[in-house]
Structures are given as C-alpha cells and as structure tokens.
Structure 1
Amino acid sequence: MRAVVIGALALCLLPLVGCGSDAAQTASDSKTPPRVGACRDLSARDLTRASNDGKPVACAKEHTAQTFLVGELPRSTGTAYDDKGHAGYVYAACTKAFGSYLGADESMVMRSRLSWAWFRPSERGWDKGARWFRCDVVGGPQDATSLRPLPEEAEGMFGTDLPDAWFTCADGESVSTGTKVACTEPHTWRAVTTVKIGQPDDAYPGDRLAEVRSRDYCKDSVRGWLGYPPDFEFGYSWFREDHWDGGNRRAVCWARTTK
C-alpha cells in the first residue's frame, strides 16, 4: 500500500517537529487475525496477491468472497516469509475445511463453480510476528477472470436449493471445447459424478493408465446416472501427476444432456 502525503504541511519546517516515513498500518500488517464468516467484494485480480486488505462488507450486500477458515502457520512450515512449506500446509487445511463449510462432499466440490483463495499477512506484518492465514470461498472456479456474487451465506449452501446455479456444465460439441457455464444456463454437457482412480497411498500410475481408468470408470458411472440407456455419450476430465501429488485421486465424469 502506498501512502501519499499532500500539501506543504508535509515538510519538516520546524526544528522540534519530526517526520515519519511509515505508511499507515493495514489489516494485513496486523497481528490480529481476520474473522471467520466475514464477507468481502473481491476481484479475480485480488486472488493473485499474497495478502489482501479488502474491507469486510455486510453479507446481505453484494460480495464475491466469504472467509471460511482462519488459522496460524506453525514454525514447522518455515520461518521465512516465502518458504514453500506455508502453501502446502494451508492447502491441506483449507481443502479439508472448504467442503465442510459448503456442506458439499468431494465430488460436489470438484464439480462446482466455486473455489477458494488464501491470504496471509503482508511482509511488514510478518516481520512484526503475524503468522495467521485466511481462506475465502470465492464465486468462481480457479481460472475465473471475473467473480460472481455469492449468496448471502455460503456456509451450508449446498444443502439449499441453490446448487444448480453453482454446478458446472459445458455448452459445445465436446467437453474440452465447450464453454464452461453454470448448469442454470443452456448447456449440452453436465459434470454429473466423479470417480476415484487410486487410493491415497498409491503412487501415480502414469498418464496412460490414469486416463484409461478415468475413461472406463466414467463410462460406467455416467451410464448409471442416465438410467442405463442403450446409447449415450460421455466425457471425462482426468488429472496429471501434479494434481496427484497434491492429493487428488478423482476424475470428473460428464454426460451429454441438456438437463
């Protein structure tokens, strides 16, 4: 944050008056952690930054983010501001809390049009001893260029009649080339299930086997979702080794349908 001083009064003209160069303290400079449940109106660009000073707004007003977890980084993740261990710790903690906060299981989370972002203190705050982190549910997938307003309360939202507006569909000839849209919009494909292609302790099976398992398991899963028709079209989204190393063992299954 940049501090701008305006006018001649900024000059140190009197011998007994001192001038300070420190900028005013922001929320990310503080050792006081944020509050769970706070709502903010963030932009997609805000999500690319390490810290955030967006002011909380009333959740009854339009907002695109809501804080669902606040925690503290342990010393074991590193003592430097940019130590890589911080991100791994936060990823595990926030991934686990994300679905619980929404009232969604792992399959629902992977098929949703929601994601989460995390923020930490500024470097200035870190130097003061701040070690908190904040995780926000945001109104858009990870690659979103803009965010949609969330409902007034994101906690438990998948236990309401809202979810179809937040599930992922695609409109196009194929899943890969179709435009991803909310399932309340016209579409030709719907992400209907996910399938598990490995266990937590399994080594990555390689690209070819990961894709074949995803294809075969999704074929059976989509057939069942459609009611076992004699003919149907399906698609699948499988994930490579980097996602496997991050803990994902699932593929997303798509059915060709306008429902």
Structure 2
Amino acid sequence: MASRTPARRTLTTGLLAAALVLSGCATEVGGRAVAGSTGGTQPAPSKAPAPSKGPVAEPGQCVLGTSPAPVDCAKPHHVEVTKAGTFGPELPAARPEADVIFKAALPECRAEAAKYLGSTDFDASTLAAWMLWAPADEWAAGNRWYRCGVAQLATDGKAVERTGSVKGALTGEKFFEFQVCSAVKPLEAAVKRIACTEPHHAEGLRVVTMGKPTDPLPSPEEFNAAARPVCGETLTKYLGTATREDVVATWRWPSQTEWEQGFTNLTCFAQTDVAVTGTLRNIGTAPLPGG
C-alpha cells in the first residue's frame, strides 16, 4: 500500500546532520488508506565537514556554522548539543556513509532530543534531532566522536541561526510556538514545511510512538489502527469541535530505513482541502481563516 519516501538528510553550513522531512503514508479518519507520493530525497553532502582540530562542543554548549567548536548558546548558533558519544569498533576503520552512522546513533539522539525539548512530539514541530560527527581524517586516526543535538528548521530543512536555548521548548502550550505546517496535504504527499502564517493545508498535532528501531516495521493496517483514534481525538480537541467536515485528521509514517534510524512514530495532522492562512486551533465552528 505504501509509497515509501526516504528521509531527507541535509547539511547545514557544512556540518553533517540529520533531520526528517515527514514521509511515508497518510490516511483520513473514516476514509480509505491512500498512498503518499514520493517526496523527499537524500542529497549527497556538498562538501566534507570542517576538520575539528580544536575542541568539540559538549552538552550544554552550541555550535555555529561549519565548525564543531563550542559557542555560548546565548550567542548566535545553529545546533544545541545534548549528548556526547564515541563510536566503537562495530563501525569500520574508514568512516562509513551517513546512513550507517544514523542507524548506529540517531535513535539515541532522537531520544535525547525528546528529553531536552520536553516532548516526544517534536516531529510535529519545527524542532528536530540533529547529529554531528568526526571528519574522515579524525575518524581514520581513531577519534570517532559524535554529538547529538537539536536545531530549529527553516522551511528548506536547514538549521536556523538563533540565540537562546530551546531546552523545554515543547512543554505544554509552548509547543504551538514551534508547530510545523505543510504547504501540501499530508494525505497526498510528503510534508512541505512552510510558515504557519503562509497559506497551508496542514498543521502538525502530535506523534504516536509505535515501537523501537529493533522492532519490525508495523504494517499499514497497524499504523492506521493506532492512528485513527488518537489522531481523531487530538483533532477534536485542537479544533474545539467534532462537527467540522472541512478539516480532517491525517497522518504519515516512516519508511523501513527511517524506522531503523529511530523514526518509530507516526505524525498526526489537521488537514484542509483549501489552503488556510491562520491557525485552526480552537476554531470551533467559525469559518476557515482565509479559506
């Protein structure tokens, strides 16, 4: 049933990083399952990450631009470091491709991101788990460091330069300050990030955890069975009504590769047929904003 879409992996200012463009399948509550069309790609790095001949940022510090050197998070930065680690002998002597590294450590980085941000719902936001690791020359010399981090994503999936920390940013009502919106319908295609003040067809609501990376990828039927009640109930609370027919709950889930890299959840959205220019939150029975 599913049209699998690879996770998009991006480079931000030269640093190897990982960020998910929500992909997989979508379905409408009460409707038939519809396969999502192929969306994101995995572009090759445009250049190698900058060598880290100096210190590498530690948890509680940030990084800016092409250097993994620490900067004060109160100053401009791209990524906040949440965890430091070292790859063991299970990985080859020559630095492997990004997908191998993601599989080895990204699940851990995603778990750290959830703790740091205060919510597992970050895939429904503009905040994402991020990952940095040693350049090839250091790797070959036995210095196999990696860092987990978090970043705020722009509409093109690159990390935003910002000041101040996002620690705890998704707790409670603060989630809506970072809510992701999509210019396309998640029911039909991979999410295309857009500012929620711009015309959009979907607003991120929450995620539903479906297992662990070592578990088998759930079937489409299992994803749908888990999503239908949770996404539907979440939409009702979000809108403030259960009577609207012009806003539906849709959801997307990961590919096999994404699942193995820690994207072990589906993401719920509020979706409209016509583009809206304002939030659907607590809209009740009022007209769609700009619809």
- Whether TM exceeds 0.5 here: the answer is yes
Identify the match of residue 57 of structure 2 among 6, 30, 34.
34
Cα pair 1:170 1:190 within 8 Å, conserved:
yes
Which residue is equivalent to 2:126?
113
Assess if the C-alpha contact under 8 Å between 2:57 and 2:70 holds in 1: no
Choose which of 109, 118, 140 in structure 2 pairs with 1:127.
140
| 1:251 partner SS | strand
Structure 2 equivalent of residue 157 of structure 1: 169
CA deviation vs aligned residue, 1:84-143 (integer Å, no higher than 9, x gap)? 754322212211111112222x2x2111112233222222222333121122322217x8
Q: Give the drift of 1:37.
A: 2.4
Q: Which residue among 67, 76, 83 is the counterpart of 1:69? A: 83
In 1, Cα distance between the equivalents of 2:173 and 2:223?
34
| SS of structure 2 residue aligned to 1:100 | helix
**1:237–1:253: 8 Å Cα contact kept in structure 2?**
yes
Q: State how far apart, in whole Å, the 2-side matches of 1:36 and 1:199 are.
A: 27
- Could you tell me whether the CA contact under 8 Å between 1:66 and 1:138 is conserved in 2? yes
Work out the CA distance in 1 between the residues paired with 2:93 and 2:205.
Answer: 43
What is the Cα deviation at residue 186 of structure 1?
Answer: 6.2
Paired residue for 1:100?
A: 115
Q: Structure 1 stretches of 5 or more lacking a match?
A: 1-25, 43-51
Pairs within 5 Å for 1:35-54? 35-42=58-65, 52-54=66-68
CA distance in structure 1 between the partners assigned to 2:227 and 2:118 by the alignment: 28
Is 1:81 the counterpart of 2:81? The answer is no
User: Radius of gyration: which is bigger?
Assistant: 1
Structure 2 SS opposite 1:92: helix
**Shift in Å, 1:190:** 1.8
- 1:226 partner letter: L
Return structure 1 stretches of 4+ with deviation > 6 angstroms. none
The 3-state SS of whatever aligns with 1:28 is: coil
Aligned mates of 1:236, 1:82 — CA distance in 2: 33
Count of aligned pairs: 218
SS of 1:67's partner is strand
Does the 8 A contact of 2:56 with 2:70 survive in 1?
no
How far apart, in 1, do the equivalents of 2:133 and 2:262 lie? 23
- In structure 1, what is the equivalent of residue 288 of structure 2? none
Higher relative contact order (CA 8 A, sep 6+): 2
Q: Which amino acid aligns with 1:111?
A: A
- C-alpha distance after superposition, 1:46-97 (max 9, x if no partner): xxxxxx5354433222222222211111223344322775432221221111
1:55-66 to 2 correspondences below 5 Å: 55-66=69-80
Higher relative strand content: 2
Which consecutive unaligned segments of at least 5 residues does structure 2 have?
1-49, 272-278, 282-291
Q: What residue is the counterpart of 2:180 in the other structure?
A: 168
**Would you say 1:240 and 2:263 are equivalent positions?**
no
CA contact (8 A) 2:118 2:171 kept: yes
